[in-house]
């Protein structure tokens, strides 16, 4: 059985440590844990590392395209590797969750998240798994789009590191134990909940 972990984010150094890139950071941590390297996929603008989880192939992917146009890349790779929507795990930032919160779910709306919109459109269904990582709401009147493109504050970094590790564990748990067991174990509120 094959799985795809889509670490949503934007390409390039400019965005590497921003809130919007936390999904990519999770995919990178998962590859590092298995000492696997990302490789460019031919004809699809993705970098992919393959890890084994028990008897399953798990593809960890980050896109070369900006988040709002990356959906077709993930969908194309999933089709090529025969990964159904129910085995696609989108890992992404979520401003509707308190900072530090982690929620795992199946399906639902995009809630204005451009990466999810693009993925839903390309897959033709919202019925894929999501590991949602709370980055909190923008302070004051700051625009949400600007907020997610800012790096995490230094004071947040230790909590972010823990969140990334737990999200990686949750993604592996989805493969090994399924949705309900993973939700029971990993769903939690954030620092201010």
Overall residue count recorded for the chain in this entry: 193
Q: Count H helices, E strands: the chain?
A: 6, 7
- State phi, psi for 62 to the nearest 5 degrees: -130, 145
Closest CA to 84 of 1, 154, 27, 18: 1
Residues 6+ apart with CB under 8 A from 144: 95, 137, 138
Sheet hosting strand 88-94, strand order edge to edge: 39-40, 46-53, 56-63, 2-7, 88-94, 129-134, 102-106
20 is catalytic: yes
Say which of 20, 87, 92, 113 is annotated catalytic: 20
Q: Is 155 exposed, middle or buried (0-12, 13-18, 19+ CB in 10 A)?
A: exposed
- Which residues form the catalytic set? 20
């Amino acid at each position: 059985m094959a799985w795809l972990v889509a670490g949503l984010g934007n390409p390039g150094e400019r965005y590497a440590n921003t809130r919007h890139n936390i999904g990519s950071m999770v995919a990178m941590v998962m590859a590092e844990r298995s000492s696997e390297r990302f490789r460019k996929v031919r004809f699809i603008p993705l970098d992919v590392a393959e890890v084994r989880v028990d008897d399953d192939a798990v593809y960890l992917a980050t896109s070369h395209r900006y988040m709002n146009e990356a959906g077709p890349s993930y969908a194309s790779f999933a089709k090529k590797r025969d990964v159904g929507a129910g085995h696609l795990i989108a890992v992404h930032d979520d401003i509707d969750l308190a900072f530090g919160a982690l929620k795992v779910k199946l399906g639902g709306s995009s809630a204005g998240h451009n990466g999810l919109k693009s993925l839903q459109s390309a897959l033709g269904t919202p019925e894929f798994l999501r590991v949602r990582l709370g980055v909190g709401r923008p302070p004051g009147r700051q625009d949400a789009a600007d907020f997610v493109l800012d790096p995490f504050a230094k004071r947040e970094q230790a909590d972010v590191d823990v969140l990334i590790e737990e999200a990686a564990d949750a993604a592996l748990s989805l493969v090994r134990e399924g949705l309900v067991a993973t939700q029971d174990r990993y769903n939690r509120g954030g620092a201010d909940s």
